[in-house]
Amino acid sequence: MAAAAAAASTSRLLLLRHHHHAAADGSKQQQQLRYSSKPSSLALPRLRLLPAAGALLPDRVTPFSYEEDDESDDHPREECGLVGVVGDPDASSLCYLGLQKLQHRGEEGAGIVAVGGDGKLKSVTGLGLVADVFGDPARLASLPGPAAIGHVRYSTAGAAASLRNVQPFLAGYRFGQVAVAHNGNLVNYQALRNKLEARGSIFNTSSDTEVILHLIATSLSRPLLSRICDACERLAGAYSLLFLTADKMFAVRDPHGFRPLVLGRRRNGAVAFASETCALDLIEATYEREVEPGEVVVVDRRDMSVSSACLVPHRPRRSCVFEHIYFALPNSVVFSHAVHERRTAFGRALAEESPAAGADVVIPVPDSGFYAALGFARASGLEFQQGLIRWHYSGRSFIQPTQAIRDLAVKLKLAPVHGVIRGKSVVVVDDSLVRGTTSSKIVRLLRDAGAREVHMRIASPPVVGSCLYGIDTPSEGELISNRMDLEGVRREIGSDSLAFLSLGKLHSIYGAEAEGYCDACFSRNYPVLPTLPEPVVELEE
């Protein structure tokens, strides 16, 4: 056993990721992971102790910085969406459709890994939207087989999108092939990576997901289920995972249940997993239940048996409340609650706390503010109207040379309905307020359209902390509510009044369940803190 541990500690793990993409020579190469436990025969070089690495977290969770002139939507961004299907001959096509439905969870890269009839795993990944990556029908046609997993992702804003980081990752190690897709973020990523690299592991991506593959490959446990559990016991933070091998699919959720993952079944008996139930609905899979926090669900495609195992001992549930506030589609069920009902309740509670006396009409900021505005209007007895129309085809607004042109670009994305707004006292309901840039533009837009008054109502508490668990949020210095008090924010965005849903009122909506939700972006109460990496030992040539 000691010899095996020594061999594992000196192992070399090399991830070579070659995607099926449109290369100049049209070649298609398969990803593979090579594992060798052969110790080095070289003399031990002199060691030099270096200071600890500066970054506590992987690049994909470091709070990003918006450019000053960036006209992108002023909301946090979900980073990943997952879909998995096993037991259906059209598994990859079903994953493709499911990923289309989860496009809002990641727009910069997409991929699918499928098991072919020969038991070999094949991968197609690429940068861009799902429809762009799989625009060539030959790409999906190259992924036949009864089981597949898919992934959509965002990369860190301000950093160039990299094909190497697009998931699922497909690897080969001494016991066969394994693919993994991950939604979340590991707060001990850098510490784990430092240890693995010190023992000889070689990394080919900047994604924290690659750490999971290295931990599985170097685990001494048997069989693969035990290796997965062994690896996950060393992870800290948020992770919903789908693993695919030649004969099994594994669905894993972290013990706190930060990110969602649900299970459904098609009429032909195929089992499906997804980040949201809207993806199950599209592929005609009936929603059965959540994958529970700390659970591993195993589906054996040979007999379609489904089994479950406990990943780690029970820990307090801390599901992300922002899934209900903004991220998930309103027609999804997330954390066992209908999203549209939660948002309607937020708007109703906001009206009870902060009514807008004398207002004429309530309008939502499309699209995510719709149900909160509807709840506000119903509770306050005010007329509900669509006073802003979002144009969905403008794409990203690149930095423009003058302020006048930048203002016109904003009007391309959001257009006022003058007949609803002109001469009216308008209540504008949005799901959240992050930097305040979008809110200030909306206020100016409505005033230019003839609004007599503009009252902003935000159906969540002030965002004062950055997320550590898989959501791109600005640094705390860029969060307007972290820099200013309520009156300061109101003056900054230019509205006649401003109110947020209080944290206490948000908790009251959930009642006894409130303790089971992570609200660190509002309270700075982080359930899992980052792990400081240990000093790095470097081998000199």
Q: Are 170 and 121 in contact (CB under 8 A)?
A: yes
- Range scoring the smallest mean pLDDT among 11-20, 94-103, 293-302, 370-379: 11-20
Was 431 annotated as part of a binding site?
yes
pLDDT of 156-201, one tens digit each? 433 446 889 999 999 998 889 999 999 999 999 889 998 998 888 8
Strands (E), 17-128: 32-36, 47-50, 77-78, 80-86, 109-115, 121-127
What pLDDT does residue 477 have? 84
What's the rounded mean pLDDT across residues 342-368?
A: 97
**Is there a binding annotation on residue 467?**
yes
Class of domain 338-510: alpha beta
pLDDT range class, residue 472, cuts 50, 70, 90: confident
Q: 132: annotated binding-site residue? A: no
232 as an active site residue: the answer is no
Q: Which of 80, 95, 232, 278 is catalytic?
A: 80
Q: How far is residue 172's CA from residue 269's CA, in Å, rounded to a whole number?
A: 29
d(C-alpha 501, C-alpha 457), whole Å: 8
DSSP label of 202? B
Q: Rounded to whole angstroms, what are the CA distances from 92 to 85, 136, 150, 300?
A: 8, 14, 8, 17
Amino acid present at 237? G
CATH superfamily of the 77-315 domain: Aminohydrolase, N-terminal nucleophile (Ntn) domain (3.60.20.10)
Q: Where in the chain is the domain with CATH 3.60.20.10?
A: 77-315
Where, residue-wise, is CATH 3.40.50.2020 in the chain? Answer: 338-510
Report residue 471's pLDDT band, with 50, 70 and 90 as the boundaries. Answer: confident
The yes-or-no verdict on residue 364 having pLDDT over 80 is: yes
Residue 152 has pLDDT above 60, yes or no: yes
Per-residue DSSP letter, 253: E
232 marked as binding residue = no
Annotated binding residue 430 = yes
Query: Residue 74: what pLDDT?
Result: 65
Name which of 155, 93, 154 is nearest 124 in CA terms: 93
DSSP E strands: which ranges in 133-201?
Answer: 147-153, 169-173, 176-186
Task: Tell me the mean pLDDT in the region 462-475.
Answer: 87
CA distance 397 to 16: 35
**Where in 313-432 does DSSP place strands (E)?**
319-320, 333-334, 337-338, 361-364, 383-384, 388-390, 414-416, 425-430
Q: How far apart (Å, rounded) are the C-alpha atoms in residues 406 and 298?
A: 51
Question: For the residues 217-244, what does the mean pLDDT come to?
Answer: 94
Burial class, 142, CB count within 10 angstroms (exposed 0-12 / middle 13-18 / buried 19+): middle
* pLDDT-based confidence at residue 427 (cuts at 50, 70, 90): very high
Max mean pLDDT range (239-243, 310-314, 475-479):
239-243
